[in-house]
């Protein structure tokens, strides 16, 4: 992915990792368009970054995605980069006497079906460009799950698998497939506590290391900061069981 001269759409671009990427790429002179459900959050981000644009999108609304994609292509005909970053995360108690699957269904819709639908709607536009990129934001938890968040971890594992297949199918086209694999980062994804949790990687450090990897060219299409190595490489290093137990015992102690 070239780091300048792009027109970039970032879902969930008003906060957290999405905003961090948006601001870093905007600073490099790209036309950045952020999308999300909360107008106030989008407005705060664009106001702080003159020239950045925003559009409202509920990634969980299947009926609106095709129309949204058509409007974006009309308004930004040079669009050549899609970053699927929007996501939600909620803990689930599967040992409860009664299990409400509403949260699970919402996570699957937002975290998996949303990126699949939006990517499919924008691929004709992206394939027209001489060079284009689709970046999927998965998670280190795609590779070693946090048991208290079973559906969230499963959605990220699904997104990783989907990205692998999409990359292979599009290998003869102009579309590059990248996967960003964040570790535990100080954002609001898991609530206010996560934003200041000392065990989480500071957001600015994560964005800086991510941009350095992008500049150098991510190996095998994956962007892995060093802090995510223990999760990403657990199975390959034959340490999966140990890493799984350490992760889940440490997090269980807090709840």
CA distance 43 to 41: 5
Q: Tokens standing for 174?
A: 């102009």
Which pLDDT belongs to residue 190?
A: 64
Which residue carries 């879902």 as its tokens?
Answer: 11
Determine whether 152 is an active site residue: yes
What are the residues facing 84 on neighbouring strands? 136
User: Please, what is the Cα angle at 232 between 175 and 207, to 5 degrees?
Assistant: 65
The CATH number fitting domain 7-252, selected from 3.40.50.720, 3.40.50.300, 2.40.50.140, 3.90.25.10: 3.40.50.720
CA distance 125 to 77: 8
Integer Cα distance of 223 and 215 in angstroms: 11
Model pTM score: 0.96
Q: In the chain, where are the structural domains located?
A: 7-252
CA 140 – CA 138 distance, rounded (Å): 7
Q: Cα–Cα–Cα angle for 117, 121, 125, nearest 5°?
A: 145
- End-to-end Cα separation, the chain, in angstroms: 41
Per-residue model confidence as pLDDT tens for the chain (255 residues): 999 999 999 999 999 999 999 999 999 999 999 999 999 999 999 999 999 999 999 999 999 999 999 999 999 999 999 999 999 999 999 999 999 999 999 999 999 999 999 999 999 999 999 999 999 999 999 999 999 999 999 999 999 999 999 999 999 999 999 999 999 999 877 677 787 788 999 999 999 999 999 999 999 999 999 999 999 999 999 999 999 999 999 887 665
């Amino acid at each position: 992915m070239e780091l300048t001269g792009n027109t970039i759409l970032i879902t969930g671009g008003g906060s957290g990792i999405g905003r961090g990427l948006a601001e870093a790429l905007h600073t490099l002179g790209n036309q950045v368009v952020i999308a999300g459900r909360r107008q106030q959050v989008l407005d705060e981000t664009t106001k702080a970054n003159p020239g950045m644009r925003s559009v409202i999108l509920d990634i969980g609304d299947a009926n609106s995605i095709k129309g949204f994609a058509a409007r974006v292509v009309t308004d930004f005909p040079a669009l050549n980069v899609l970053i699927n970053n929007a996501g939600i995360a909620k803990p689930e108690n599967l040992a409860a006497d009664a299990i409400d699957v509403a949260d699970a269904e919402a996570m699957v819709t937002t975290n998996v079906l949303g990126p699949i639908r939006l990517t499919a709607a924008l691929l004709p536009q992206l394939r027209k460009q001489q060079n284009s990129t689709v970046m999927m934001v998965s998670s280190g938890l795609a590779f070693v799950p946090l048991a208290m968040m079973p559906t969230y971890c499963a959605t990220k594992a699904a997104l990783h698998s989907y990205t692998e297949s999409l990359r292979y199918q599009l290998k003869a086209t102009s579309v590059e497939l990248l996967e960003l694999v964040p570790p535990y980062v100080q954002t609001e994804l898991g609530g206010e506590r996560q934003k200041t949790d000392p065990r989480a990687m500071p957001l600015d450090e994560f964005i800086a290391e991510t941009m350095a990897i992008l500049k150098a060219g991510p190996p095998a299409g994956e962007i892995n900061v060093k802090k995510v190595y223990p999760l990403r490489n657990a199975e390959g290093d034959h340490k999966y069981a140990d890493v799984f137990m350490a992760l889940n015992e440490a997090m269980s102690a807090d709840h």
